[in-house]
Amino acid sequence: MANPFVRARYLLSAHTHKQLPPDGAFEVAFAGRSNAGKSSALNALCQQNALARVSKTPGRTQQLVFFDMTPPEMAPPRYLVDLPGYGYAKVPQDLQAHWQAFIDQYFRTREALKGLVVVMDIRHPLKDYDRQMLGYAVERGLPAHALLTKADKLGRGQQSQALMAVKRELFSAFGDTVSVQAFSGESKQGVDEARAVVAGWLGLSI
């Protein structure tokens, strides 16, 4: 079967629960602080420069954005979901509260959700909200994968140090339910490893 990621296409953006596609698909969500590199990671996985919108301005992705990567004649649909970034102070408070409630509900109730990727800047990993998101997934019994991105900003030695430190912390907090890797949307380091994890959760072969 051809690599299913390259077939990913924009499906829809949901600002409220009603706008979500019907539950019952297989979905993997990408969460992370604002500006962490979620949209860039999705583009790298899908080998497309302009699939998800990348921006120098934090807070660019303001809805749940669905990308469809369902192989032909396969059901149910397979989706990748770009979540709004958290932790960006300049977003108006009522809007921030709205997203928070929306994402909380999505996480608690969405049957389609098969796994969570938490995207973190390798230089600033495991902030409070990152831990909270990982905690949500683990509580629900969902697998989670920490993507330590912007690895191109560090030398090899610093990368492996950062990776080891995060591995240790994740293991003491969550046992071996959360996996972790270094990644770069810029240099494409770690793309194959991340694809394998996501494809596995979606029941797709690559």
The pattern of x and - marking residues 44 through 83 that bind Mg ion according to CB under 5 A reads -----------------x----------------------
The answer to whether 183 touches 149, Cβ cutoff 8 Å, is: yes
Place of tokens 């430190």: 165
Under rule CB under 6 A, residue 54 binds ligand GTP: yes
From 9-17, 131-139, 150-158, 173-181, give the range in contact with ligand GTP by CB under 6 A.
150-158
Choose the one of Mg ion, ligand GTP, none that binds residue 77, judging by a C-beta under 5 to 8 angstroms depending on kind.
Answer: none
Question: 3-class secondary structure for 6-62?
Answer: HHCEEEEEECCHHHCCCCCCEEEEEEEECCCCHHHHHHHHCCCCCCCCCCCCCCCCC
Under rule CB under 6 A, residue 61 binds ligand GTP: yes
Under rule CB under 6 A, residue 181 binds ligand GTP: no
Choose the one of Mg ion, ligand GTP, none that binds residue 115, judging by a C-beta under 5 to 8 angstroms depending on kind.
Answer: none
Beta strand ranges found along 110-199 (DSSP E)? 113-121, 144-149, 178-182
Q: Any residues with CB less than 8 A from the CB of 74 and at least 6 apart, and which?
A: none
Q: How far is the CB of 120 from ligand GTP (least distance, A)?
A: 10
Q: How far is the CB of 66 from ligand GTP (least distance, A)?
A: 15
From 15-23, 55-63, 169-177, 196-204, give the range in contact with ligand GTP by CB under 6 A.
55-63
- Measure the CA–CA gap between 159 and 182, rounded to whole angstroms: 7
